Chains A and B, each alone.
Chain A
Amino acid sequence: MLRPRAQAAGAAAIGMLVLSACGDGSDTGSGSADGQQTLTVWTYYTAGGQNDALEQQNALWAESHPDVTIETVQIPFEQLPSKLLATATTQDGPDVVLDNVVVDFPTLASSGVLADLTGYWDGYADKDLFPDSAVWSYEDKVYNVMSYTNLLGLYYNADMLEEAGIEPPETMEEFQAALEQLAPDNEGSVLAESGAPTVEGAWMFMPHLLGQGKDYCTMTEADLTTNLQTVQGWSQDGVIPRETATWDQADAWQAFMSGDYPFGINGNWNLADARGADFTIGTTRFPAGPEGSHVFPGGEAIGIGAFAEDKDLAWQYVEEAWMSQEASLINFEASGQIPTRSDLADDETITSDELVQPFVEAASETGAWPLNQETAAMQTAVGEAHSAVISGQSEPADAARTAIEAVTAAREDGGGSC
């Protein structure tokens, strides 16, 4: 601590981050004297399966493009959007980026750091094979496309459930009963889920409301209070450990994979990892509420940096290494991420995989994200309320009131649309 720079940096994080944004190694793809080109790809992948998939997809691309080197830059999840936004100042960024589209799309698209893909998309021969939800547009221009989707589901330790005589729950009532039955023998470690005061925690929590027919734009303070009371009960009754309040999804997954937890709520990108578990893992859909089982569609979308030197080459990479049938199957087999291409829906590789089926089913009944400039603020407010209730910092009613005020204010700031 207290190095010389501390005197100036004491001002706060803003100045520091402005500085950090200036030197993030964001060299854009370019040619070299020997004709070898480089494409820079930014990701925040941390799961082993995702990184394996990326490596194999890059190898697929390299087969037909030996003169192009793919340089992958790993950036921490929370820092990727800010680094991407900083490229607006440096005029130098990635050729291809995999961004957290469901949170950051309105911000990234409106800030001019993503290239307009409309021309490329319109000329793409397979574009009709992708659902509308895989194409992300802003002011009638395409900026992001999704070759796969990720959804939340309920993982369970089949050995523990069998020992306890519990069937995998399908509804919230069955789930609650199972949790209550398991709690006495698994004090504080029945369910592993994320409760971090961030968008990740919000993503885990919101399916409770989606199952009741509510979302960010229709939920009331009473709705939120009721569901936060459920979570508070889990925390107080030893269903979830209090440290859930600071767990991100990776922490929650590690906890489930320890074998100590009968249940874990997490995404299908962990399926490759799940197959290597020391115990028998099963999956089922997120427990259904009165209005069914619904989760928000997630996953990364692919974009081309606004300052990429060779956008045509970058689009070729997107098509061949991500959107193609072969690349999508490689991705699925290595990571469990579900292809969005409709011509793979009945592919035996996917249909024969029992673990992925609940996630595939969930993909057809997803909730709707708020398409609002301030969607990140809306989601963060819910994440903070969730975390505050789990830890005991706030009572559900107080947390709900604060969250609803913040969500409403953010929605209005973002233009009021949903």
Chain B
Amino acid sequence: MTAPPETTVRPGAEGSVESPAPGRWRRSRVHLGPYLVPAAVVCALLCVYPLVQMGRMAFSDVGPANLIGEWTFSGTENIREVLGSDGFWEATRATGVFTAVLLVVDLTIGYVAAQALARRGRLSSIVLSLMVFVWALPPLVSGSVWKFLLAGDGAINAVLQLVGIGRVDWLSDPSLALWAVSGVAAWASLPFAILIIRGGLLSIPTEVLEAASIDGAGPIRRAVSVVLPLLRPTLMVLVILIVLYAFRSFDFVYVMTSGGPGTVTTTLPFLAYREAFTTYSFGTGGAIASLSMLAVVVLAIPYVLGVRKEEGQ
């Protein structure tokens, strides 16, 4: 089997034929610098500042009475309180399940669907357009629609009863609710996964696949030994983005179950929201959010290192 030249398979790298001379890079940076200022200011105001405030909150005693004024430094008290509560670990587990469902659904169904849609044609275009529509739907809208569909007297139960299967309490059965909400979130994120994987598939040179066929590889062998290894950088990026998405699993939970029944669907971001804005424990809310952010940073490190490695090559 012929090994592909590595520079041709990285998505988005097709156009980077030659590197500019060092002198040109320096000039470009000097010229581009001022143009970065607005973006840097917006980023500092809308991303960095709230994150710094959140971090401060995690180590402060903040309640409604001193929300405007000075925050008393409380050391690691909030962190210790959060780590010592059963609710945090239950929410961590729920977030883990949520993440796992998204990864499995998006990667497996996403890969199969991307393969099917990789062939150009009118049907593919229609399906892709529909997927973009689903992806663009605000979670509050799609979540509300799914809440009605999954209700006891909703359309899905009506169909199940028509075919002789009894009614299922999708959102109120403690053993099903988290899976149902995760499934809906996976449904909403699937179009993005398909589009990304499809982009990766289309960037694989047909010559490579043809060479594999000439070498006697069947469809499965081609997928396992050629396509998946070449898709690895794309899939790695996708995995990281799915994990990031799962760790902000707030909207569908908020709309569909309010964290219930009981606390079954209370994920980390929902728990942080509830602590901060329902019971007004801003300090513990900030601590939960900071710990979530830390987990995301830890998970994102392989992604950043991977990207740097790819760039180095």
Contact = CB atoms under 8 A, between A and B. Distances in A.
B296 A11 contact: yes
B248 interface: yes
A242 B128 CA distance: 38
Nearest to A7: B244
Contacts of A377: 279-281
Interface stretch (B10-18, B64-72, B117-125): B64-72
Interface string B252-290: 000011111111100011101110111111000110111
Interface stretch (A108-116, A169-177, A277-285, A287-295): A108-116
B245 interface: yes
Nearest to B287: A14
Contact of A14 (B169, B171, B289): B289
A89 B67 CA distance: 9
Contacts of B260: 196-197, 245-246, 384, 387-388, 391
B199 to A, nearest CB: 13
A391 B277 contact: no
Given A6-B244, A13-B250, A197 B276 contact: no
B174 A393 contact: yes
B169 A243 contact: yes
A233 interface: no
Given A377-B281, A380-B278, A394-B262, A242 B270 contact: no
B292 A11 contact: yes
A164 interface: no
Interface stretch (B20-28, B47-55, B200-208): B47-55
A88 B47 CA distance: 20
A17 interface: yes
A81 B278 CA distance: 8
B57 A393 contact: no
Interface string A196-222: 111100000000000000000000000
A390 B259 CA distance: 14
Contacts of A111: 64-65, 67-68
A393 B46 CA distance: 39
Interface string A1-37: 1100011111111111111000000000000000000
Interface in A373-418: 373-374, 376-377, 380, 384-385, 387-394, 399, 410
A197 B271 CA distance: 12
Contact of B192 (A2, A89, A112): A2
Nearest to A188: B152
Contacts of A89: 67-68
A85 B67 contact: yes
A13 B279 contact: no
A13 B272 contact: yes
B82 interface: no
A242 B272 CA distance: 27
A159 B279 CA distance: 42
Contact of A384 (B51, B174, B263): B263
A245 B50 CA distance: 35
Interface string B218-248: 0000000000000000000000011111011
Interface string A219-244: 00000000000000000000001111
Contacts of A349: none
A394 B264 CA distance: 10
B171 A10 contact: no
Contacts of A197: 258-263
Interface in A141-195: 188, 195
Count class of interface residues, chain B: 35 or more
A270 interface: no
Count class of interface residues, chain A: 35 or more
Nearest to A11: B293
Q: Which of A6, A13, A79, A388 has the most CB of B within 10 A?
A: A13
B248 A380 contact: no
Given A14-B285, A245-B260, A6 B50 contact: no
A69 interface: no
Contacts of B245: 1-2, 6, 10
B172 interface: yes
A316 interface: no
A410 to B, nearest CB: 8
A305 to B, nearest CB: 14
A391 B248 contact: no
Contact of B173 (A380, A391, A394): A391
Given A8-B47, A10-B248, A243-B152, A78 B172 contact: no
Q: Which of B68, B258, B261, B281 has the most CB of A within 10 A?
A: B261
Contacts of B281: 377
Given A1-B188, A197-B260, A11 B289 contact: yes
A376 B285 CA distance: 15
Given A2-B192, A14-B289, A81-B277, A388 B261 contact: yes
A60 B84 CA distance: 55
A392 B57 CA distance: 36
Given A14-B276, A15-B54, A17-B277, A7 B172 contact: no
Interface of A: 1-2, 6-19, 78-79, 81-82, 85, 88-89, 106-108, 110-112, 188, 195-199, 241-246, 248, 373-374, 376-377, 380, 384-385, 387-394, 399, 410
Interface of B: 46-47, 50-51, 53-54, 57, 63-65, 67-68, 135, 151-152, 169, 171-174, 177, 185, 188-189, 192, 241-245, 247-248, 250, 256-264, 268-270, 272-274, 276-281, 285-286, 288-290, 292-293, 296
Q: Which 4 residue pairs are nearest across A and B when measured between Cβ atoms?
A: A388-B262, A391-B261, A12-B289, A245-B261
12 contacts: A2-B244, A9-B248, A13-B272, A14-B57, A14-B272, A14-B285, A14-B289, A18-B50, A85-B67, A85-B277, A391-B264, A399-B262
